[in-house]
């Protein structure tokens, strides 16, 4: 895998971002005074939200990456910044003047620069749902800095956090610029709903679960941020061009979040394997490591709640979004079919008479499953990488992805008890036994002792092979 943390030297055409403005942007915000004023009115509310619900550990400055251009390469700049002075802004990928709607009934029309009146409420809904997840994860992760296993890891957490904050900006810009008064109201609501709030929770279930410890953070960035990557991948295909261009740039930032998850779990597994070999036991709690069986339970949990984020296997809404050209498929333009899909069919799993069988349905209604299958295949690549660490250390046990029906609350498998190997059972306790127990979580939490000296690492995780942006691993990435 590429070292995503590094920013390559600039080459190719660049559209510079204007940092002289109060809100950095590459959308010529100063050319639209009304919009600029509206967003400048939202900015202090965002900062209040960041101060109240963003990272809770006080820091002086953090070595962070900031977007400076949206060209093909060289888009990022690294520097020490006090986090509340991070330059959150509005960055859209370059416009392609020839871009068309690439799927659905409007296929071949020029891509829309304005919201088509007939799709206004659907588009607003899609943007609000995406926008709601961005600040949610910052809220879920706000106390993790307190127990960071190193300054390197703390910096990565904060990088993810500031970029999720920027993703909120990305969606709020679209709401303000294209949806008038309703859009501005939705932008306010995005700061009022809060993760886990009893009266006003975040929209999607997985974004109301607390991220309790660093192993769940790494699993979250691996599995749940990856759901985000796939959702953005479908919106990047949208016929509504500003949404497509926004998501294209967000995906660039998202790559680092995947990197944090993949390598975070990998380093945890590496340490676990070392301790297992060294002490010739699976039970490495006493030696300061997280047993592989507990890592598997965390994986089971995060994978299954992330699978729920894709919605039901069949959905008439998703068919309508596709036919309207609002939300495409993963890698839409690289698919070899008519991109209209009116007559195509596919198979979806259903449980009948206690068995999982396939049912044939119109492909258009099964696009959630299509996306989820792409996602699941991608998830498997990281597991392979983690297992390579076990193999390298000479440990026989392996990690695996549980069956798609395991622990599901949404879709065909909800209401059934499916074990990680796909067996359907009546035994709910057998399913629960494959998830982290309160005791597991408490024991993991017990290992989460802060290591806040440069170059110091907690004993449950291996140090990374490289630092950020070619700096040494021992660099003081965060200053207090
Ligand atoms: Fe995001
Ligand atoms: Fe993310």
Question: Is residue 92 included in any domain, yes or no?
Answer: yes
Concatenated DSSP letters for 291-340?
-HHHHHHHHHHHHHHHHHTT--SS-HHHHHHHHTTSS--TTGGGS-S-SS
Question: Is residue 295 included in any domain, yes or no?
Answer: yes
For residue 451, the model assigns a pLDDT of 97
Whether pLDDT at 144 is above 50: yes
Which pLDDT band, with edges at 50, 70 and 90, does 290 fall under?
A: very high
Q: Which residues crowd ion ligand 1, with CB under 5 Å?
A: 134, 164, 167
Cα 356 to averaged position of ligand 2 atoms, centre (Å): 33
Question: Is residue 38 included in any domain, yes or no?
Answer: yes
Number of domains within the chain:
1
What distance in Å separates the CA atoms of residue 213 and residue 442, rounded to the nearest whole number? Answer: 10
Give the whole-number percent of the chain exceeding pLDDT 70: 95
Q: What is the pLDDT of residues 226-276, one digit of tens each?
A: 999 999 999 999 999 999 999 999 998 899 999 999 999 999 999 999 999
Q: How much is the average pLDDT of 441-458?
A: 96
Contacts for 260 with CB less than 8 Å, ≥ 6 apart:
156, 157, 159, 160, 218, 221
Q: How much is the average pLDDT of 398-411?
A: 97
Q: How much is the average pLDDT of 169-192?
A: 96
User: In what helix (H) or strand (E) does residue 267 lie, and over which residues does it extend?
Assistant: helix 241-279
Task: Tell me the C-alpha to C-alpha distance, in Å, between residue 324 and each of 240, 335, 364.
Answer: 10, 18, 12
For residue 66, the model assigns a pLDDT of 87
What distance in Å separates the CA atoms of residue 452 and residue 313, rounded to the nearest whole number? Answer: 45
Cα 64 to averaged position of ligand 1 atoms, centre (Å): 16
Cα 474 to averaged position of ligand 1 atoms, centre (Å): 28
Q: What's 465's domain CATH number? A: 1.10.620.20
Q: What is the pLDDT of residues 262-271, one digit of tens each?
A: 999 999 999 9
Whether pLDDT at 448 is above 80: yes
Mean pLDDT rounded to a whole number for the chain:
93
Cα 202 to averaged position of ligand 1 atoms, centre (Å): 15
**Which range has the worst mean pLDDT, 80-94, 115-129, 161-175, 347-361?**
80-94
Domain extent for 362: 29-64+80-479
Q: What is the pLDDT of residues 74-85, one digit of tens each?
A: 677 899 999 999
Question: Is residue 372 included in any domain, yes or no?
Answer: yes
Question: Is residue 24 included in any domain, yes or no?
Answer: no
Burial 66-92 (b: 16+ CB within 10 A, else e): bbbbbbeeebbbbeebebeebbbbbbb
Whether pLDDT at 413 is above 90: yes
For residue 8, the model assigns a pLDDT of 38
What distance in Å separates the CA atoms of residue 327 and residue 331, rounded to the nearest whole number? Answer: 12
Question: Is residue 1 included in any domain, yes or no?
Answer: no
Which pLDDT band, with edges at 50, 70 and 90, does 291 fall under?
A: very high
Question: Is residue 345 included in any domain, yes or no?
Answer: yes
What distance in Å separates the CA atoms of residue 17 and residue 107, rounded to the nearest whole number? Answer: 32
Cα 135 to averaged position of ligand 2 atoms, centre (Å): 10
Instruction: Provide the sign of the torsion angle of the four alpha carbons 225, 226, 229, 230, taken in this order.
Output: negative
Question: Is residue 4 included in any domain, yes or no?
Answer: no
Cα 64 to averaged position of ligand 2 atoms, centre (Å): 15
For residue 205, the model assigns a pLDDT of 82
For residue 20, the model assigns a pLDDT of 72
For residue 69, the model assigns a pLDDT of 72
Q: Of 324, 339, 328, 319, whose CA–CA distance to 119 is shortest?
A: 324
Cα 155 to averaged position of ligand 2 atoms, centre (Å): 15
């Amino acid at each position: 895998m590429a070292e995503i943390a590094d920013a390559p030297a600039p080459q190719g055409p660049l559209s510079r971002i204007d940092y002289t403005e109060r809100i950095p942007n590459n959308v010529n915000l100063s050319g639209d005074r009304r919009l600029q004023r509206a967003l400048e009115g939202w900015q202090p509310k965002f900062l209040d939200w960041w101060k109240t619900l963003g990272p809770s550990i006080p820091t002086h400055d953090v070595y962070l990456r900031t977007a400076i251009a949206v060209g093909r390469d060289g888009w990022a700049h690294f520097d020490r910044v006090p986090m509340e002075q991070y330059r959150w802004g509005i960055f859209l990928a370059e416009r392609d003047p020839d871009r068309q709607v690439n799927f659905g009934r409007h296929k071949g029309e020029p891509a829309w620069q304005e919201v088509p009146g007939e799709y206004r409420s659907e588009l607003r809904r899609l943007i609000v749902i995406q926008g709601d997840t961005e600040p949610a994860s910052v809220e879920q992760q706000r106390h993790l800095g307190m127990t960071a296993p190193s300054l390197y890891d703390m910096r990565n957490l904060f990088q993810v956090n500031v970029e999720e904050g920027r993703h909120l900006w990305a969606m709020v810009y679209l709401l303000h610029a294209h949806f008038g008064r309703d859009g501005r109201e939705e932008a306010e609501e995005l700061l009022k709903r809060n993760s886990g709030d009893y009266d006003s929770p975040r929209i999607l279930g997985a974004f109301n679960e607390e991220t309790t410890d660093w192993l769940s953070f790494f699993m979250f960035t691996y599995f749940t941020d990856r759901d985000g990557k796939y959702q953005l991948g479908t919106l990047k295909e949208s016929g509504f061009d500003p949404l497509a261009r926004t998501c294209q740039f967000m995906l660039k930032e998202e790559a680092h979040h995947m990197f944090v998850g993949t390598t975070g779990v990998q380093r945890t597994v590496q340490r676990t394997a070392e301790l297992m070999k060294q002490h010739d036991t699976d039970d490495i709690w006493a030696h300061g490591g997280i047993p592989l069986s507990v890592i598997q339970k965390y994986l089971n949990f995060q994978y299954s709640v992330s699978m729920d984020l894709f919605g039901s296997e069949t959905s008439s809404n998703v068919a309508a979004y596709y036919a309207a050209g609002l939300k495409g498929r993963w890698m839409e333009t690289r698919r070899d079919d008519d991109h209209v899909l009116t007559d195509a069919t596919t198979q979806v799993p259903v449980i009948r008479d206690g068995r999982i069988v396939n049912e044939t349905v119109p492909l258009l209604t099964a696009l959630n499953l299509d996306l989820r299958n792409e996602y699941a295949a991608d998830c498997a690549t990281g597991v392979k990488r983690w297992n390579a660490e076990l193999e390298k250390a000479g440990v026989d046990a392996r990690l695996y992805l549980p069956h798609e029906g395991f622990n599901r609350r949404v879709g065909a498998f909800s209401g059934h008890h499916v074990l990680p190997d796909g067996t359907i059972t009546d035994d709910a306790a057998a399913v629960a036994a494959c998830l982290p127990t309160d005791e597991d979580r408490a024991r993991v939490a017990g290992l989460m002792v802060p290591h806040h000296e440069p170059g110091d690492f907690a004993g449950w995780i291996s140090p990374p092979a490289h630092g950020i942006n070619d700096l040494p691993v021992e660099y003081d990435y965060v200053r207090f």
